[in-house]
Structure 1
Amino acid sequence: MYAIINNGNGDYYTSTVYACYEDPTNEDGTNWWGEYYIVLNKEKNALIKHYAYDSSVKPSIRQMILYIDDNQDNWNVDKRTGIGEINISDRDSLMKMVEQSTVSNELIELDKQYHFEDYPEIHNEADIAKLMLVSGHFHDARIKQIEDTNDKLHIIFDDVWGCNIEMWFSGDVSYDISCRNPAVYDPYWLGSVMIIANGFIYFIDDEDATIEDAAGDNYCWFKAREVKYHVIPD
């Protein structure tokens, strides 16, 4: 597992996620506000305990772990809750490193193996899956800024849970955002889908939408030959 670690106020870095645990603060199951992760510190010379959410932010909570890769194939994990740790270590060892502000060479080397792209491009379904994972399918997102120049479209989405997302569309660009005009309609997205077909990438504001839906007036949609994006934690 790999994630953007959000420290708040625009400060962030990336790290392998080595474990997911929770503070037992209720009796009825998972307390999401007590969920925390074992990750590297920003200097990447020690393990730290980093909470998944900051519930002190008002009016809504801030997501502090933004997944890029949520694969747990190399974890010992409870499949129901997601609680567990990477299989080359154990909870006691990981927590001891957190307490002593250290990290093993084996865990550092594992982190070095992951190639993080700050400005990834969309080429295939795997790329789309990463974008949807880190953005939560753009649930509660809205278009904050849009600029259309010379067949290139630049968009900034805000209110994505835990981040803003900057996107660039280029090559035979077309789009329709009229149904998200905040002066007339609700500007917030409930979800989204991205589809690669016929040499184009389609991006539509509904998880169940099809390419044919992009021809209608009831959807906000974008179509281009090339798409790239950048995640900006808030």
Structure 2
Amino acid sequence: MYAWVTLDKDRPPYLSTIFARAIHKGNWGKYEEGYHEYCVVLNENKTKLISVDTYQKGDKNIEVHIATVTADMEHWVPKKYYGSFDFLKKYDPETLSSTISQVDLQKCIEIDRDYHYQEWHEIRTEKDAEILLDLSGDFHDAFIDELDVNKDQMIIKFGKAWGIQMELIFDGNPTYKLDPDIDYYTWWSDCSLIFDDGYWYLCDLPEVKSIPKKSEDLPSMYFAGRRMRYRILPGCYESAAERKPRNIKIVDNR
């Protein structure tokens, strides 16, 4: 796994491999324990491991300090969200950063150094689509800042929410639908991402299996193109909860 790490407002975000992810020990309630998640990553100088709480209490709301950009679990045990690199399973994640041996630390540094970070990711398969939805939290609380479209390409820039800022590009006869009569239509609560009739569709409704042929049956908001790619940028210090709904900035040159 690889992520943007934001330590505080005075230091810029940086990229690091996630070497372990776990929940702090404690008697947490079912809906509370997720907010006690932490990740073990390299420090800014890539010289030692540090433990960073994913969710931290800010001045007005929760800040997300770890924004995962890839979820590769090839060397991860167990093959689940919480776990660690296989060679680190002998350590307690809670004390990993302070108890790791010099040999294993050097291995961590080398893994991070050799990682090839790919900024843009293309959606080619259903698995790719599932990964994007997992990384974005199904676009929950996401809202669109800008939409720029021409006959060949459509660029969508989302505002910052839950520690990330998404950018999407649809190529190949892009199209979209927005319904200005629906309140807060720039905000999302859930979504579906499907491939139908040669196009990738991202729409603001859950569990959509296919796109209706009649225009009146279409989702209230969707974006589509023959090809789709995305990138995830850090967005720790500005969340959807702090932003008021507003109109999307639209540039349509089709």
Given the two structures, how large is their TM-score scaled by the length of structure 1? 0.80
Contact 2:40 2:97 in 1 (8 A): no
Percent identity over paired residues: 26
The separation in 2 between residues aligned to 1:172 and 1:78, in whole angstroms, is 38
Establish whether residue 212 from structure 1 lines up as the match of residue 208 from structure 2.
no
Aligned CA RMSD, in angstroms, stands at 3.2
3-state DSSP of counterpart to 2:50: strand
Counterpart of 1:34?
36
SS at 1:160's partner residue? coil
- Relative to 1, partners in 2 of residues 1:57 and 1:228: Cα closer, same or farther, differing over 3 Å? farther
For residues 62-101 of structure 1, give each alpha carbon's deviation from its aligned partner in whole angstroms, at most 9, with x where no partner exists. Answer: 222222344556445597xx65433312325983644799
CA distance in 1, matches of 2:125, 2:77: 29
Alignment length, in residue pairs? 228
Residue matched to 1:108:
109
Structural mapping, 1:53-92, within 5 Å:
53-58=55-60, 60-70=61-71, 74-76=75-77, 84-89=83-88, 90-91=90-91
Q: Does 2:127 match 1:126?
A: yes
**Which 5+ residue runs of structure 2 have no aligned equivalent?**
236-254
Q: 1:152 to 1:18 in 2, by over 3 A?
A: same
Name the structure 1 match of 2:145: 144
Number of the residue aligned with 1:164:
165
Conservation of the 8 A alpha-carbon contact between 1:140 and 1:159: no
> Cα offset for 1:190?
1.3
Displacement of 1:138 after TM fit? 0.4
- Paired residue for 1:186? 184
Q: CA deviation at 1:8?
A: 5.5
In terms of mean alpha carbon deviation, does 7-16 or 154-163 score higher? 7-16
Change (3 A) 1:57 1:164: farther
CA distance in 1, matches of 2:223, 2:93: 48
